[in-house]
A and B are shown apart, each in its own frame.
Chain A
Amino acid sequence: MSTEPLKAAALALRQAITSAGHGLVQRESLVELIALSAVAGEHLLVVGPPGTAKSEAVRRVARALGGKYFEYLLGRFTEPSEIFGPVDLRKLKDGIVETETSGMLPEAEIAFLDEVFLGSTAILNTLLGLLNERTFRRGHTRIEVPLRLCVGATNTLPDDDALAAFSDRFLTRIFLEPLPDPELEDLLAGGWSLLREPPAAPASIADLDLLSRAARTANVEAVRTELAHAIRVLRKNGVTLTDRRAVKVQRLIAAAALLGGRTTPTTADLWPLVYAVPDPDAQTLARDVLREVLAASENSALAAAAAEASLGPLARASRIVSRGKEILATKPPVEDPPGVEAWKLRLEGVAREIDAGFSEKTITDELRNLRAEVVRWVS
């Protein structure tokens, strides 16, 4: 396959990712994972409390790709017709049970289902086929759906074993926390700009499809040995990936390579393995035990996600250092005592984040130096 159209599509996706992430504070990884999952043709589960920009991130990526978008908040009493469409009453008179899917999930290219595990058995069974086989079956209706990506959201992972099969359909997982104290000013500024800015559509579903097709035929054999080694390291440390996940993670790796400007994956593209680990504590452990394996991780289009996957506590330290330096650089003049007081409070937030987040053994030198400077101003 000629690489020029691929490069153009990858560049368009990169611009779409940047555009979608603008104004969303500390959610770059989420936006990047949405794009990665879409190119890989795998679904994404976002776990986090309400108000952590889950639906906004998906909406913005959908708008940036110009795709047909469907979004719904599921509840225990949600009827299947609210998701899939009502029964066609004209055909019902002839004894044919067909669903009118216009504008509903079966016609969506990108979908967001909030509180996805609250759906009834009827909904989840139908969703299972839709997510797995890209086929919608209900009554006499059987259609191939154009769904490229479904993002499911939930406050917490379900305990119920009965939901395990459905939950496993979401290969990629990201766990979100509310923003820490020092980043609240950025959140307020970013959120305000979100309310004002019209969205852009720098890419298209056609770009996405071109990259997806290339991802499916990428030569993953080049990194298979390293990937197998990484999975063995995980298993040795008690992090189990199902065989299904281990096989499918290759799609994420291939997608990461394409978005990073490579037609053939390298060891720089193994980092999505972390996001295929289904549990938050296991993901944190995976970051730590795979630190050496993922040391070469790099991706110019998905920088935040790659950095977070491969560095773990180091990524956290790096973020705090960056944030702390920004705050230190914005000291108000002494003639503005309330401003200085507010500035010191922000610095105290940084100090608290350092002291609460790192022990004597895990604190990095850069963080220790930052702390020393912060303490100089707030003690």
Chain B
Amino acid sequence: MGELRWIDRARVLAPIAACGRGAAADALALKLSSWPADRLAKLSGVSVFAPERAVFVLAQSEDDLPWVDGIQYLGKDPHAPQLLLPTAERPDIHLSLFERAITRVARTPGLIAVLAPPARSIIPLRAALPLSSKKLRDFIEGNS
């Protein structure tokens, strides 16, 4: 079986999450660490250190999401409600089948973020916690 192809979405998803990888992860954490507490309270997040440093931020509304150059936005497709997928691209396969395959691999309940190539990552977001400036600074300094 060949590699899974990703195609442009006919209808883009509304973003409800953002992901920064590598240098963008540090830039995202730095930006968020300067936000006031009431603005941060609207977000939850997960940090990852392998296979590469990454920060995932989830929001209830698109308006609450940060912008930093280089981050990606993720959203929910009604055909795969357990997944957070890139807003402008999708795998070239029926999404409910894709969701089933991903959940089988991830073996975890809750939301799962899926990043398109070149990242090709599957990140469970069940452990997402409310953000705080301290946690963000700890991430920047390399403390998990």
Query: Which residues of chain A have a CB within 8 Å of any CB of chain B?
Result: 177, 180-181, 280-281, 284-285, 288, 348-349, 351-352, 355-359, 361-362, 375, 378-379
List the A side residues contacting B89 at CB < 8 Å: 359
Segment from B49-57, B69-77, B104-112, B132-140 that makes contact with A: B69-77
Interface CB pairs A-B, < 8 A, 29: A180-B62, A181-B62, A181-B63, A284-B11, A285-B10, A348-B66, A348-B67, A349-B63, A349-B67, A351-B69, A352-B62, A352-B67, A355-B67, A355-B72, A355-B73, A356-B12, A356-B13, A356-B62, A356-B75, A356-B87, A358-B12, A358-B88, A359-B8, A359-B86, A359-B88, A361-B8, A362-B8, A375-B69, A379-B69
In the assembled complex, B84 has its CB within 8 A of some CB on chain A: no
Contact B63 A362 (CB under 8 A): no
List the B side residues contacting A280 at CB < 8 Å: 11
Contact A356 B15 (CB under 8 A): yes
List the A side residues contacting B72 at CB < 8 Å: 355
In the assembled complex, B65 has its CB within 8 A of some CB on chain A: yes
Number of interchain pairs (Cβ within 8 Å) = 49
Contact A281 B11 (CB under 8 A): yes
B56 → A minimal CB distance (Å): 15
- Does more than half of chain B's interface fall in helix, strand or loop, or is it mixed? loop
Known contacts: A281-B10, A281-B11. The answer to whether A355 contacts B71 by CB under 8 A is yes
List the B side residues contacting A351 at CB < 8 Å: 67, 69
List the A side residues contacting B13 at CB < 8 Å: 356
**Which B residues from 59 to 106 make CB contacts under 8 A with A?**
62-63, 65-67, 69, 71-73, 75, 86-89
Known contacts: A359-B88, A359-B89. The answer to whether A352 contacts B11 by CB under 8 A is no
Contact B10 A357 (CB under 8 A): no
List the A side residues contacting B15 at CB < 8 Å: 352, 356
For the complex of A and B, list the 4 residue pairs with the smallest distance between their C-beta atoms, beginning with the closest.
A356-B73, A348-B67, A284-B10, A356-B15
Cα A207 to Cα B66 in complex, Å, equals 50
Cα A348 to Cα B71 in complex, Å, equals 13
Size range of the interface on B?
Answer: 20 to 34
Cα A359 to Cα B87 in complex, Å, equals 9
A369 → B minimal CB distance (Å): 15
List the B side residues contacting A356 at CB < 8 Å: 12-13, 15, 62, 73, 75, 87-88
List the B side residues contacting A378 at CB < 8 Å: 67
List the B side residues contacting A285 at CB < 8 Å: 10
B81 → A minimal CB distance (Å): 15
List the B side residues contacting A181 at CB < 8 Å: 62-63
Cα A177 to Cα B14 in complex, Å, equals 10
Residue of A359, A361, A375 with most chain B CB atoms under a 10 A cut-off: A359
Contact A288 B10 (CB under 8 A): yes
8 other contacts beyond A177-B14, A285-B10, with CB at 8 A cut-off?
A: A180-B62, A288-B10, A348-B67, A349-B67, A351-B67, A351-B69, A352-B65, A356-B15
B20 → A minimal CB distance (Å): 12
Contact A362 B88 (CB under 8 A): yes
List the A side residues contacting B86 at CB < 8 Å: 359
List the A side residues contacting B63 at CB < 8 Å: 181, 349
List the B side residues contacting A281 at CB < 8 Å: 10-11
Cα A351 to Cα B72 in complex, Å, equals 12
